[in-house]
Amino acid sequence: MDSKEAAGSPEGLRTIIIGAGMAGLLAAIKLKERGETDFTIYEKGDSVGGTWRENTYPGLSCDTPAHAYSYSFALNPDWSAVYAPGPEIKAYFEGVARRYDLYPAIRFNSEIESAEWHGDKWHIRTKDGQSDSAHVLIAATGVLHHPSLPDIPGLSDFEGACFHSARWDHSVPLDGKRIGVIGTGSTGVQIVSALAKRAARLVHFQRSPQWIMPCPDTRYSEADKQAFREDAENIWQVRNGPEAAARRARFTNAIIDIDSPELAEIQQIVERNLEESVRDPALKQKLTPNYRAACKRMIFSPNYYRSVQEPAVYLENQPIERIEAKGVRMADGTLHELDVLALATGFKVDQFVRPIKIRGQGGLDLDTFWQAGPRAYYAVTVPNFPNMLLFNGPTGPVGNFSLIDIAEHQWRYFDQLIDLVRAGKCKAFAPSEAALVDYEARRNERAKKTVFASGCHSWYLDKNGVPQVWPWSWDHFTEVMSAPKIEDYVLA
């Protein structure tokens, strides 16, 4: 190693980024803004976009307003709607990657199999035999990309088309078909809303009902777009103006304090939405959850209640006994005969950077370290895994906030840690084990008081029933991410 590299100057500092989704592109752009071009993005897929590449199901859209779900440095005046459709969001990320000339740095169809720290570098190997090394490893692998299949007997016996929502088979015809959708999260709600008038019969299999937050199905006119083009302040008002700030404060206060007036307000809104939108008392009863609003991830929909009342749609809330060749058999003996079965059953949200085999200092295996559950100091760094940075890692604020906002705040934190290496103050940084233990103790105690722990089953909960989420306010998150507490880090 030459003197420049030893000093950690930008010329000698190399970075590997895992994933070319929203966060991976952000990291690459920010490195380029510093004049640093010695980085490679390894992407397991064949294009950028992350979850927006993986998911292509009918009705796909973002449940965060599009102007908020945009990079602060790459605003888009041409969004077609307040809640933009998935293909448009994917095109946005493709356009950003072209604008910042990131494609030459991306190795597509290159899934990393292992990463190991030794010396003062990370050494990676891909599944197709490539090898590489770098001083900094940035995991921008996302959360919602490992499909979770339901454990239902007979699933493989179904003779029709059957696929997970993130592996949608667009060769399968849908119009005039008998379609079943299993799952009532955001994905299931969007699929049912999109297919309610296309299917001859559509059965929505509901294990537990969801509270639905009403939202406008607002399309931007050409005049709206022109106003956004002419004055970016109009976009900033949508992102951060008084109404946006009030909504964020309301939701933040609601989730961290189950006795807050903000949660009571949200409860009133969703109850009124159900009461005013659904006429039939029996259907209304089926759709009424037995838990508080926001206990599960809030679902935003302008039209689900209307769609579920379409003549062709049937909401089935009895337990599924098994899948058969012709359809789905319920516990009461009913058989729903189907041509297509869509599994909107979510993702394995505890994977994070896994299944990559990662070994840190002293050969410590990440799977072993996470055996009791994924842990990371303030959701971004892990003891004994030097210079490894996690976007949206375990216990991050992944509720109904813009993940882009979260990632941009996390990058500011990352950049200051990398600066320690750039300036030659150290070759490696990692949080102390004591710092992680203290963080987890405080976070666990606080998480038990959030609405996520108020009595429902959700993907937020760990195996002990403790929410694995950020339990404090948005303002506290931005404050913590504004500057690392260097005293909580071990520098080598």
Residues 254-272 pLDDT 10s: 999 999 999 999 999 999 9
Strands 106-107 and 299-300: unpaired
Average pLDDT over residues 64-72: 95
- Residue 270 included in any domain: yes
Considering the domain architecture, whether residues 290 and 219 belong to the same structural domain is answered as: yes
End residue of a domain, out of 343, 360, 392: 343
Would you place residue 428 in the very low, low, confident or very high pLDDT band (cuts 50, 70, 90)? very high
- Mean pLDDT for the stretch of residues 262-291: 97
Q: Are 209 and 178 contained in the same domain?
A: yes
- The CATH number of residue 222's host domain is 3.50.50.60
Confidence of residue 246 (pLDDT cuts 50, 70, 90): confident
> In the structure, what pLDDT confidence band is assigned to residue 244 with cuts at 50, 70 and 90?
confident
Question: Do residue 284 and residue 430 come from a single domain?
Answer: no
Using alpha carbons, select from 89, 101, 20 the residue that is nearest to residue 55. Answer: 89
pLDDT at 11: 58
Q: What pLDDT was estimated at residue 455?
A: 86
Same domain for 328 and 354?
no
**Are residues 286 and 420 both part of a single domain?**
no
- Residue 273 and residue 159 in one domain: yes
The set of residues, in sequence order, having a beta carbon less than 8 Å from that of 313 and lying 6+ positions away, is 192, 196, 199, 202, 203, 204, 307
Count of Cβ atoms closer than 10 Å to residue 65 Cβ: 22
Task: Check residue 8 and give its pLDDT.
Answer: 35
The answer on 325 and 179 residing in a single domain is: yes
**Residue 277, token pair as written in the block:** 């939108």
Residue 81, domain member (yes or no) = no
Distances (CA, A) of 119 to 41, 132, 424, 430: 22, 14, 16, 15
Residue 117 in any domain: the answer is: yes
The yes-or-no verdict on residue 400 having pLDDT over 90 is no
Q: Would the pLDDT of 461 be above 60?
A: yes
Domain endpoint, select from 343, 370, 401:
343
Residue 429 corresponds to which amino acid? F
Same domain, 13 and 159: no
Q: Give the span between the Cα atoms of 41 and 144, in whole angstroms.
A: 19
- Could you say which of 299, 315, 343 is where a domain stops? 343
Q: For residues 135 and 214, state if they share a domain.
A: no
**Both 472 and 426 in a single domain?**
yes
**Rounded average pLDDT over 62-77:** 95
Residue 382 is part of which domain span?
Answer: 3-48+102-146+348-491
Residue 367 CA neighbour count, 13 Å, CB half? 8
pLDDT of the residue at 6 = 35
389 belongs to a structural domain: yes
Strand partners, 330: 320
For residue range 136-157, list pLDDT tens digits in order: 999 999 887 788 999 999 999 9
HEC sequence for the chain: CCHHHHHCCHHHCCEEEECCCHHHHHHHHHHHHCCCCCEEEECCCCCCCCHHHHCCCCCCECCCCCCCCCCCCCCCCCCCECCCEHHHHHHHHHHHHHHCCCHHHEECCCCEEEEEEECCEEEEEECCCCEEEECEEEECCCCCCCECCCCCCCHHHCCCEEEEHHHCCCCCCCCCCEEEEECCCHHHHHHHHHHCCCCCEEEEECCCCCCEECCCCCECCHHHHHHHHHCCHHHHHHHHCHHHHHHHHHHHHHHHCCCCHHHHHHHHHHHHHHHHHCCCHHHHHHCCCCCCCCCCCCEECCCHHHHCCCCCEEEECCCEEEECCCEEEECCCCEEECCEEEECCCECCCCCCCCCEEECHHHCEHHHHCCCCCCCECCCECCCCCCEEECCCCCCCCCCCCHHHHHHHHHHHHHHHHHHHHCCCCCCEEECHHHHHHHHHHHHHHHCCCHHHCCCCCCCECCCCCECCCCCCHHHHHHHHCCCCHHHEEEC
Residues 332 and 213 in one domain: yes
C-alpha pair distances (Å), 471 with each of 259, 442, 476: 15, 10, 10
Instruction: Decide if 271 is inside a domain.
Output: yes
Can you read off the two tokens belonging to residue 234? 């109009």
Q: State the Cα–Cα distance between residues 234 and 236, nearest whole angstrom.
A: 5
Mean pLDDT along residues 82-93? 97
Peptide bond into 77 cis (omega under 30): no
- Closest Cα to residue 309, out of 340, 345, 281, 339? 281
Q: Are 178 and 339 in contact (CB under 8 A)?
A: yes
For residue 131, the cross-strand partners are 125
Binned at pLDDT 50, 70 and 90, residue 3 comes out as: very low
Instruction: Report the DSSP beta bridge partners of residue 315.
Output: 204
Q: What domain count does the chain have?
A: 2
- pLDDT for 5: 37
Alpha carbon distance 415, 30 (integer Å)? 9
Q: Are residue 324 and residue 293 in the same domain, yes or no?
A: yes
Which amino acid belongs to residue 342? A
- Beta-bridged to residue 413, according to DSSP, are none
Cα–Cα distance for residue pair 154/322, rounded to 1 Å: 6
Residue 52 tokens, joined: 């927006």
Enter the tokens of residue 248.
């964020």
pLDDT confidence band for 9 (50 / 70 / 90)? very low
Average pLDDT, the chain: 94
Chain centroid to Cα 407, Å, comes to 11
Q: Is residue 475 part of a domain?
A: yes
